[in-house]
Every structure is written in structure tokens, then in C-alpha cells.
Amino acid sequence: MGKPTGFLEFARELPLDRSAIARINDWNEFHEHMDEPKLKQQGARCMDCGIPFCHTGTLISGMASGCPINNLIPEWNDLIYRGLWKEALDRLHKTNNFPEFTGRVCPAPCEGSCVLGMNNPPVTIKNIEVSIIDKGWDEGWVTPEPPKSRTGKKVAVVGSGPAGLSAAAQLNKAGHWVTVFERADRPGGLLMYGIPNMKLDKNQVVLRRIGLLEREGVTFRCNTEIGKDITAQELTTDFDAVVLCTGATKPRDLPIEGRNSKGIHFAMEFLHSNTKALLDGTEPPITAKGKNVVIIGGGDTGTDCVGTSMRHGCTTVTQVEILPKPPLERAKDNPWPEWPKTYKMDYGQEEAAAKFGADPRVYVTTAKKFDTDANGNVSAVHLVEIKWEKNDKGQFIPVDVPGTERVLPCELVLLAMGFLGPEQPLLEALNIERDPRSNAKAEHEKYTTNIPKVFAAGDCRRGQSLVVWAFNEGRGAARECDKFLMGATDLP
């Protein structure tokens, strides 16, 4: 619980980020570290709240409230306050295989449900989490822990993103021989190619942990696509169990006039190719340099497109959001401990505002058509403001507001409007039953598909979601898979 009176004595404080103007000149992580005395003070703010909602991991109004992997947050806050860093790391690893990932990219639903947050700024849980694991690596406390014995069972994990990595880590702990198949040239999935380097360093953070998994006995087979390089039949024949963790990678399109113009790309195409070029030491095939950039979509992926465009040296950047601008404080219909739907400037918007003078987002606005020049390149986007009204079925739909049309010049358009579900060829090849949203049909907490010995977890089962939910599902699928293989399981 930290210090009983800590929340009264110490204000919430976070380490300063690197200057927005300075950091757009490189691809290094933008967060700075906080010194230990201040971290102890922040840990001291964790109050004796009686019922710590921060680690409940429930869904309220369709959004996460508390930590989906049930991190023992009050316990390691108290240990940090008392200076017991190694013990805090041990507590953290009990529930979280990869705290260096969640501590960097998770939106921290734990902080949204912190009891202190009812009437004060919440505890800086996410920063304390990443500080614990970073110190663990620095001090050499994070070392390979291969299983003491092997079961002889072989498990294939398809996809090396968050769900796949957590499933592989847990199944390896149980003593099974785990092979992770990844169609990209490097392992990590979303963590490698979906999140930019300045937010999550690939060599110093992602590949460091993957290297540890390899030393613990996990095998990674990259450049291997099931259905092309290996048949689905081989997969089910050669392995005792299969865990599908392919993600929800089918992007939502925008089929409006001019969509086929050159220079219009899905966000992940842009982000993936940029990170690959950065790691390969080559020039990115899609660049925002010297261009007016329009990003359609206001979520985290859109923000990453803003930050990447800023580092390329774009001329202007505009982020189009169809939803209204959130309020500065919780609305009455968004009470604690729900996720607070309040206005914030993320790193990409901070950088754009620092250089261009304003938040790049325009709200309650949508695109109606794209203009194309004589060479087939996109040259402008037509925007219109909308309002949300109920249709005859009682559903809210966007309706154009007459007289609000405007045209923005642009030479690069990035579509960041979310994802519709998993790609279907592998599911079809395995004859996996789908739910109405095209996801692999498998019950939460069971993860079993209609095909014997084939499990599904993460976004390919639940749809597009948070990284931390993928970790939750990967761990859960590993538990159920181990139970299937051995008749019982000790995995949490």
C-alpha cells in the first residue's frame, strides 16, 4: 500500500519526456527516467484503498477497467516505496511476462481505475512498472530460466505478437517444446512492426526479450507463412497442439471516390515498412518527407502515423477524427472506475503542436472523396463535418453538416481506422469456425476451437484490442493448452 499518508504528502509526478522538437530528429525512445527517490515517493502514493480496483481487469461499458493481467500493483508499489526492487521485480513477473512492453505501450487502464483517481491524480502505475523492469535488466536480475525438465510435447504457436509471445513463454515454462511461426522477417508481430521505434525500441527492448526466450528454449521460425511455406495439414500433423495468435490484421478501408489514387496507404503498411527500413538501414519506401499528410483515424495507430510523419519531415499533418472532441474531465456518464474518456495530447500530437502550433486533430469530421492529379497521385481530400443522429433503428449514425465542406491539399493519406478481424486464409485452411465478426470462434478462458488440439487467442479471437488483453489471452490459452496436453496444469 505504500506509505499510509503518502497520497496526502506527495503529488503525482512523471519523468519529463525529451523535448518534442528535439526528438523528432531521431528514432530513439522519447521517455526519460525518474531517479529512485522520486520513484519511491510515487510508490508511496499507493493508498490503503481496501479494494484495489487497479488489478481487477474487468470490462465496464465495453472498456477495460483495471489491469487485464491482474498485476499485483499495490504489492510492488509498496516494495518500491521500501526500496526492495528485486522483490518488486519478482512480484511483477508473477503476472506479466513482458513488463518492459506493457510499461511502454499499454494505455494503463489500471490508472483509470485507481481509487486515488476518484478525487486526485492517480498513482503513476505505468511509470513505476517500467522502472522496475528496466532496473531489473540493468542490474542483471533478468536471466534465462529454462524449464528443469521437458514433457516431450511439441506445440506450434502461429504469430509472434503479444498473444503469441506470452503463450510461447508460458508453454515453454511448462516444459513443452515450443516453435513460434512468424511470416515477417523478424519476430515480435505488432510489437516489432506495428509500434514505432521511438515508442518501443526494437533492438534494446523487443529483441532483447525474444533473445531471452530463445535461450530458455523457444524456437522462432521467421519468414514462414502457414499455407505457403508450410501447409496447415503439416502444422496439425507435426505438432501435439497448435495455438493461433495471428492478430486482427485486416484493416478497415475507406471506399470513397479517388481511393485508388497513388499515395493512399493503410497505416500498418506505412508503419511496418518504416520500421523495417530503419532496422535494415535503408530508405523507407513510403515517405512523408516534404508532403502534406492526412491521417484518417484518431486512435493510437493514427498517433503513431503522426509521430512517424513528423520524423520524416512532413510539410503539414492533419489527423481526421469522426468522433467528438473528448471533455477535459470525466463526463457524468463516464464515472470512475470506467476508463476516463477525456482529452489528452499523446506524443505525436505534442510533436505536431510543437512544430506547427496546434493539435493536428480535427473532430467530428470525415472524408468524402480524394482528388487525383494527372499522374494518378492523390492531391487533395474533401472533408465535411458530421453530427451524430439516431436512425429509425435507434442507432447513432454520422450525418453530414451542410456548408462545412472543405478541401485539404495532400500528397500522402494514411488510413488508420481500425481493423475488421483476422485474415481468413489460415482459418479457412484449418476449417476453424468463425463468429459473426469473422474472428476464430473460441470461448474466453477456454480458447478451444472446433478443431481438436487447435486453440485461438488474442485479437484473432476477440477482435482488435489492447496489447495487455493479448497478453491475458496468450497466458490463458497456454494454461488450457497445457491442461489439454497433460491432463492438468500448474500454469496460472
What tens digit of pLDDT does each residue of 410-432 get?
999 999 999 999 999 999 999 99
> First CA to last CA across the chain, in angstroms?
24
Cβ-contact 254, 417 below 8 angstroms? yes
> Cell 493510437 appears where?
300
Region 15-32: mean pLDDT is 95
- 48 band by pLDDT with thresholds 50, 70 and 90: confident
Amino acid at 200: L
Region 111-137: mean pLDDT is 96
Amino acid at 261: S
**C-alpha cell at position 129:** 512498472
Q: In 10 A of CB 468, how many CB atoms?
A: 25
Q: What is the pTM of this model?
A: 0.95
159-172: pLDDT as tens digits: 999 999 999 999 99
Distance of CA 26 to the CA centre of its chain: 22
> Cell 479517388 appears where?
258
Looking at residue 230, what is its pLDDT?
94
- 1 band by pLDDT with thresholds 50, 70 and 90: low
Looking at residue 443, what is its pLDDT?
94
Region 291-295: mean pLDDT is 98
- 50 band by pLDDT with thresholds 50, 70 and 90: confident
Looking at residue 47, what is its pLDDT?
86
Q: Among residues 302, 299, 305, which one has the least CA distance to residue 326?
A: 299
Mean pLDDT of the chain: 96
Q: Helices (DSSP H) in 322-434: which residue ranges? A: 347-356, 425-429
Is 70 exceeded by the pLDDT of residue 117?
yes
* 122-136, 269-283, 388-402: least confident range: 388-402
Q: Rounded distance, CA 177 to CA 488, Å?
A: 17
Region 166-182: mean pLDDT is 98
Cβ-contact 241, 156 below 8 angstroms? yes
Is 90 exceeded by the pLDDT of residue 12?
yes
* 43-52, 145-154, 474-483: least confident range: 43-52
**C-alpha cell at position 188:** 515480435
Taken in order 76, 77, 83, 85, the sign of the CA dihedral is positive
Q: Rounded distance, CA 208 to CA 212, Å?
A: 6
Backbone angles phi, psi at 267, to 5 degrees: -55, -45
- 439 band by pLDDT with thresholds 50, 70 and 90: very high
- 255 band by pLDDT with thresholds 50, 70 and 90: very high
Region 221-249: mean pLDDT is 96
- What does each C-alpha distance from 450 to 425, 455, 456 come to in angstroms? 17, 9, 10
297-348: pLDDT as tens digits: 999 999 999 999 999 999 999 999 999 999 999 999 999 999 999 999 999 9
Looking at residue 3, what is its pLDDT?
84
Q: Rounded distance, CA 7 to CA 44, Å?
A: 7
Region 31-54: mean pLDDT is 92
Q: Rounded distance, CA 14 to CA 20, Å?
A: 16
* For helices 300-312 and 347-356, angle between their N-to-C axes, nearest 10 degrees: 40
Distance of CA 198 to the CA centre of its chain: 14
212-230: pLDDT as tens digits: 999 999 999 999 999 999 9
Q: What is the percent of the chain where pLDDT is above 70? A: 100
Looking at residue 436, what is its pLDDT?
95
Is 80 exceeded by the pLDDT of residue 253?
yes
Q: Helices (DSSP H) in 243-382: which residue ranges? A: 267-280, 300-312, 347-356
Q: Rounded distance, CA 71 to CA 448, Å?
A: 25
Region 351-359: mean pLDDT is 98
C-alpha torsion 366→369→375→377, nearest 10 = 20
Is 90 exceeded by the pLDDT of residue 244?
yes
3-state secondary structure of 455: strand
**C-alpha cell at position 327:** 471533455
Angle at the Cα of 418 from the Cα atoms of 442 and 458, rounded to 5 degrees? 25
Q: Rounded distance, CA 130 to CA 142, Å?
A: 14
3-state secondary structure of 375: coil
Domains, in order of start, for the chain: 6-138 (1.10.1060.10), 154-249+420-486 (3.50.50.60), 253-417 (3.50.50.60)
> Cell 528535439 appears where?
22
